[in-house]
Structure formats: C-alpha cells, structure tokens
Chain A
Amino acid sequence: MAKIESAFLDLTYLDRLAAGNTVIHRLDPRVKVVTAALFVVCVVSFDKYVVAAMLPFAVFLMIVMRLGGIPAGYVIAKLIVTSPFAVMVGMFNPFLDHQTVLQLGSLAVSGGWVSFLSILLRFGLTVTAMLVLIATTGFNQVCMALERLGVPNIFAVQLLMLYRYIFVLLEEGQRMHRARALRSFQQRGMGMKQYAYLLGQLLLRTIDRGQRIHLAMLCRGFDGTIRIRRNLRITPRDIVVFLAAGMVLIAMRRFNIALLLGNFITDLLP
C-alpha cells in the first residue's frame, strides 16, 4: 500500500507548495484559472503535426514555475507517472501514418511519429499547466474561483468536499489495508477476492460517514445550498498580469515564435 501512502504525502506536498507566497501565488485565483484554461485551449487547438510552435508554451510554463517556486523534479515525476495514458493514445499513430513529412538528412520521419510527438508534448504541457495551477493556488481556492466564475455552486461544493474527505478516505483505506496485511501470511489473504471485500467494506463505511456528515450539516441549519465565503478581490495588478499573459499566449498561438526566432537567427548569421 505504498501507493496510498505516497498519494497521501503527495497531496500534502501539493498543499505545502500552494501555501507559498510568490508573485504567482499572490495573483487572484480567478486570473490563474482563466489563464490556465486559455493556455490549455491554445495548446490543444494546434494542428496535429505541430511540434516546434508549441515549444514557446513550454518556455512560458518554465518561467511561471520558476517564479512560483515549483520544483521541476516534482512536475517531471508526476508527468512520468501519468504519461502511459498519453502514450496509449498516440501509440498507433506511427503505424498508421507512413507519409513522410520531414527529411532529416537521410532519415525520413513519418507523419505518425511527428503527431505522436505532438500528442506527448500537448499532454506534457496541459498536465503541467494544471499541476502548476493547483500548486500555486491550492485546490480549495481553485474551486472557489470556479464558483465565482459561474460554475454551479453544487459542482464547486462537490469538489471542495471531495478534497476535504479524500484525506479521511485515504486514512481509512490505509488502516484497513494495514490490518489485513498484518494478518496475511505468505501472501495468503492478499488476493483479488479479499480486495473486493475490502472495497465493499470501505464503501459501506463511506455511506455511514456520509449520513453522519449530512446529520451534522442539518444540525447547523443546512437547507440545500452551501454558502461559500467570498474573499477574492481582483486588484489592478491582477488585471495587468491577466492581459499580459493572455496576449502572450494568443501571440504564441497565432505566430510560430520558434520559426520566427529561427529565421531571425539565421538572418543574423553571415
């Protein structure tokens, strides 16, 4: 159950990062949420063979990470853990698409490989963007920003509660697993069947807890809507940062900065 434990530590680590106080942390969560969304839209809307034009987005992220004090090692580790999904999605492209689109000396690169690389790059950029958003804002603040941006209250509250109780659930699962592991000798009792019982048990406990939480809410006058404190305030600085970031993102989407830069450098050379 190293996995549950590491998931637990991971969440606390993310929380610790979010408690930082850098330029990026101090921005209004709404500005960050909208900018991150714009970032993702820009990246995924590129044509399927695009690789080079996306690189400036990576530079953009690196700058934000540097400013926000997010360690690159952590982000890379997360990317590696989640990468199988993206690899699965793009895996067949090289087999299906043989058309040569790029000639590197004597090596002909097929469209499949280029689009595979493009998928991986998109995946890396979007996942990193979300990680950086949460690591510099905090999950709760992201939810509150969403609520303020017009996401229905019920979804925002669902997410908030999910985050609140995921810790309780992980702890409960961890205790149950430990109790079982201590009484299973030579891997007996560690099979799939026991896992099913364990999960069923966990579900029942969760339902019980849900009922108790509902009771606790009723006791304090819960009437169906949850009122979230609105403590977010947009400052002129937020607006400036938002406009600047938005313009940079759109410019990077509109023009192939990598190509322009390449041409510029080649022109400079005699």
Chain B
Amino acid sequence: MSHHIVEVQNLTHTYPDGTAAVRGISFRIHHGEAVAVVGANGAGKSTLLLHLNGYLTPQGGTVRIGDFPLTRETVKDIRKTVGMIFQDPDDQLFMPTVYEDVAFGPLNLGLPPAEVEQRVEQALQRTGVEHLRDRPPYKLSGGEKRAVAIATVLAMSPDILVMDEPTSNLDPLSRRTLIELLAGFHHTKIIATHDLDMVIDLCERTIVIHEGTIMADGPTADIFNDDYLLKKSHLERPLRMQACPFCSRR
C-alpha cells in the first residue's frame, strides 16, 4: 500500500495579471494527518489548493501526491487520489438528482453498474443523506448540500481529502454535524479555513500562510497561543481560547 503523502516543494505560482499568489511554499503532510491551512483573504490558500488536485500545474517547484509527481500525465491518477470539496456546494452538485451526482465520479472511473450503485449507497450512508437520493440538489438546505458534496467525493474513494471552507454558511448545528462527520474519516485531510474553532477540533497541525509564503507550520495548539504571529497574519485566537466576555468584564 502506498503512503498518502502530500509533498510540496518550493511551489510558486504567478497569475497572468502579475499577482504572485504563491511564492515558495514547501511542506510535507504524512499519511492520515489532518492539517489546517489558515491565513488572511488573498494569502494564497485557494491557489495552493488548486495545485493539490492538479487544476493548476506548478510553474516553479514540485508537488508530489503519494508516489507521483504532479505532471500533465499523472493528473488523472492524482485526481483519483485527491478528493476536493469546494466552498460553494452549488458548484459541485451539477447533476439533476443527488443520486446522479454521487454516481458521476464512479461512472467516469468506468466502474460496472453494480459497483457504482454500491459506492453511491455507501457514500450516501456515510454522510447520512440516503433519504435525499432522488431529490434535485437545488431543493436541499445548505447543510444537506454540503453533506451530499462530501458524498460525491467519497464515492470516488479518495485517500486524501482537500476542503475549501467546509463550514462556511452553515448553521451551528449543521456545522457541528459536519465536524463530527469529518472527525470520523481516516483520510489524510487538508482544510483551508477561517473557522479556527473547527481547526481545534479536527487538525493537530496548522500551516499559516501569509502573502504567498509559509509564516508558521506546527502543532495547532502552539500556533493559536502565539498572539503576535496570529495578529501579523490577520488572524486571532479561536473564540474558545479567548476570555469569556461576560465573566472577564468584572
């Protein structure tokens, strides 16, 4: 069995309009690790994520997923290994019904119908949305959409999950359900987010990105206790690590 390592070395990316979004990022994420990528708006998180599933190929530096370096030839295998969950589930759910959406990936893999059926069933069960299977995606609530979006990715049985703001626009209960769901996954997880409280629950390691470079990379607890670092990278302590506004007033 291959180890699902994600290794990025000296990655750089400059957009055609001259914006240097990523300028020399290096890290190595091990099998089964859950890592948060945090940073200000426009720090380069999204650009970095787009490299991890081969939507962008490195302009400088290398990206290795498992045993493969990311190139045009390996991009298909890499997309099978890396499941990407988008920020807006409406972008991810494009088929007329939930069932068809979840089946989209497995069908593209060329799996036989019985296997597709089984995978869809399992993925929907895992995310707890079997009852939505014949519903059209536009009629689902935000939390349901998110769960289905995750099911679409699980049906591909990826080894690595890459998520962009998984908790955005969710009500507190849906957010909690989602966090518990994600905590149950054994996959390697890379989560770009501003929801630092979720990071405490899910990720033992945090990478702070600032202006296209890595500002800090280490255990979540250490990083969230470093007020100077947080302030410099446009962050603040997670709410749970701040003093209670009612008790501390007196």
Contact = CB atoms under 8 A, between A and B. Distances in A.
Contacts, number: 70
B91 to A, nearest CB: 4
Interface in B32-57: 50, 53, 55
Nearest to B156: A220
29 contacts: A160-B95, A160-B96, A163-B96, A164-B96, A164-B137, A164-B138, A168-B138, A209-B91, A212-B91, A215-B50, A215-B86, A216-B86, A216-B91, A217-B94, A219-B53, A219-B55, A219-B83, A219-B84, A220-B79, A220-B105, A220-B152, A220-B153, A220-B156, A221-B76, A221-B79, A222-B108, A227-B104, A227-B107, A227-B108
A132 B138 CA distance: 23
Contacts of B83: 219
B95 A164 contact: yes
B109 interface: yes
A228 to B, nearest CB: 7
A237 interface: no
A166 B100 CA distance: 18
Interface residues of B, number: 32
Interface residues of A, number: 26
Contacts of A221: 76, 79-80, 105, 108-109, 156
Contact of A161 (B80, B90, B94): B94
A221 B136 CA distance: 22
A65 B218 CA distance: 67
A212 B108 contact: no
A119 B109 CA distance: 51
A20 to B, nearest CB: 15
B71 to A, nearest CB: 16
Given A164-B95, A209-B91, A218 B79 contact: yes
Interface string B107-137: 1110000000000000000000000000011
Contact of A218 (B55, B137, B156): B55
Nearest to B117: A229
B90 A168 contact: yes
Interface of A: 15, 140, 143, 160-161, 163-165, 167-168, 209, 212-213, 215-223, 226-229
Nearest to B94: A213
Given A160-B96, A209-B90, A219-B79, 12 more contacts: A140-B96, A164-B95, A209-B91, A212-B88, A213-B94, A219-B83, A219-B84, A220-B152, A221-B79, A221-B108, A222-B108, A229-B100
B206 interface: no
A213 B79 contact: no
B138 A229 contact: no
A220 B95 contact: no
Contacts of B103: 229
B94 A164 contact: yes
Given A140-B96, A218-B79, A221-B108, A167 B91 contact: no
Contacts of B138: 164, 167-168
A215 B136 contact: no
A80 to B, nearest CB: 28
Contacts of A165: 94
Interface in B68-105: 76, 79-80, 82-84, 86, 88, 90-92, 94-97, 99-100, 103-105
